[in-house]
Structure 1
């Protein structure tokens, strides 16, 4: 194996990480999994040749997809996570005492087993938390069939290739909406807009057909090179994006959570979009 891992997700752009040591490699029923150590990023998890998470900067991605909607909502008790087998999203969600149940639907059991063994720095003890319910199933099928309702749905999916492709369809988003309680929020990962404009535009176009309030917000995650990363936002409660800073500060303080990226000020600023991304979001 080369001493460099090269990601070729994008047609005209590739990025690389030096492989200091290969720690694990296997092919499951659904995908090829590789874990290696990098001097800067620590342990690096890749699926099908695409970097999924690293020990060094996972906190940015997971904090912004978990804490932002939970604190915007103000009363989240039940959370559904689609994907996220590394456990980082689950771990952040469970930091909130208000959460009484977190259901994680992951298609590949081997990723969860792997995380428990090799990625404790990311998942912590989240899978042992009594509030956790792990469901090994297709997320598309789960939201289409379940009768449960959730205050927040987090789609922590891979990019729209392979097993993750169906999690970027209008049908899937419509079924997610059916699973939301009144005033519930749906958030999604939507890649790097500079390189994945169509992905973001399509998701927001589908959202506008289904929800009263739709938007995207941004965070800069070094691992996901090529510009800031976009997260989709959808809800029927049009008040949740216009909360005053003082309200968010009070909720954040009350939660008693220590963060390394998220703050209430970052929360509000994340929705401020540069024109090139704002144009993508509003594209018909």
Structure 2
């Protein structure tokens, strides 16, 4: 039986059980065919298993990060929502150790270089070994992989370096906690080029309404706009995850990221379309009302 760092069982009677205090009263379960890897890295508990119906699965600290069956919905939307919102040449990816977001970013012919900063090299190696179709771009010549702290990297980067920053983080506990802070986004705004876009894993609207409001109002305070887009991922809690997006002032064209500026051309995609891009910003009434009020406060703060 595989057990995470806290000693609670992960696999019971042939089923992986995702029980977590971050989503009380509910749990997700996948049937396990074979445990492929289980180890304690420098930063977290890493489990990889072959499931009966969802392909290979990576789990960090007891939480599902990726399954081969539905990974394209998260990877494509988190990457292409910002990438199609501008004309990026220089990109920065923080996190995303499985390499899926990287795979999508390098599909854009306009990209000249991608700096990829992942804190846990063991996750990268596990993805290369057990999810090669996801990690296929790890050795791409456009990519510079830096195994280290993405927050520290942002703090030490020069101003106006990147057209796009994508933060593919786990939940705001453990190694990813510092990525959910106003200080990180102040640095992100500083190192973005004028009109540049940041897109971050934005948590679940059913479970994290308060955090989403904080992200839009506080984290987005120094940006020209701050928005939330919804993504369907069946194996994530409540079947949904968000993308927090913000644009630095000074660019040309529409400030909002709600509509793509370019169209996919001969790009191999299984989930993202221009229609899905626009639809992702259509939110349930309860969250839309809250974010409209939040954004009003954010705009007043940004205007001085």
TM-score w.r.t. structure 1 length?
0.92
How much does 1:242 deviate?
6.8
Give the Cα–Cα distance (whole angstroms) in 2 for the partners of residues 115 and 221 of structure 1.
19
4+ residue stretches of structure 1 with deviation over 4 A? 242-245
Match of 2:5 in 1: none
Match of 1:187 in 2: 199
Q: Does 1:129 align with 2:135?
A: no
* Structure 1 residue matching 2:221: 3-state secondary structure: helix
Give the Cα–Cα distance (whole angstroms) in 1 for the partners of residues 229 and 258 of structure 2.
15
Please identify, of 213-222 and 193-202, the stretch whose mean Cα deviation from structure 2 is larger.
193-202
Give the Cα–Cα distance (whole angstroms) in 1 for the partners of residues 258 and 100 of structure 2.
27
Give the Cα–Cα distance (whole angstroms) in 2 for the partners of residues 37 and 208 of structure 1.
39
How much does 1:200 deviate?
1.2
Per-residue Cα deviation, 1:100-158 (whole angstroms, up to 9, x for no partner)? 1111101111111222222102111x111110000111111110111261100000000
Q: 1:25 aligns with which of 23, 28, 38?
A: 38
Q: Does 1:43 align with 2:53?
A: no
Match of 1:8 in 2: 19
* Structure 1 residue matching 2:204: 3-state secondary structure: coil
Give the Cα–Cα distance (whole angstroms) in 2 for the partners of residues 220 and 183 of structure 1.
28
> Following superposition of structure 1 onto structure 2, how do residues 79-94 of structure 1 map, counting pairs within 5 Å?
79-94=91-106
* Structure 2 residue matching 1:186: 3-state secondary structure: strand
Question: Is the contact made by 1:34 and 1:46 (CA closer than 8 Å) also made in structure 2?
Answer: yes
Unaligned runs of 5+ in 2: 2-11, 298-304
CA RMSD of aligned residues (A): 1.7
Question: Is the contact made by 1:193 and 1:227 (CA closer than 8 Å) also made in structure 2?
Answer: no
* Structure 2 residue matching 1:234: 3-state secondary structure: strand
Match of 1:61 in 2: 74
Alignment length (residue pairs): 277
Match of 2:163 in 1: 151
The verdict on how the C-alpha distance between 1:234 and 1:243 changes in structure 2, with shifts beyond 3 A counting, is closer
TM-score w.r.t. structure 2 length?
0.87
More helix by share: 1
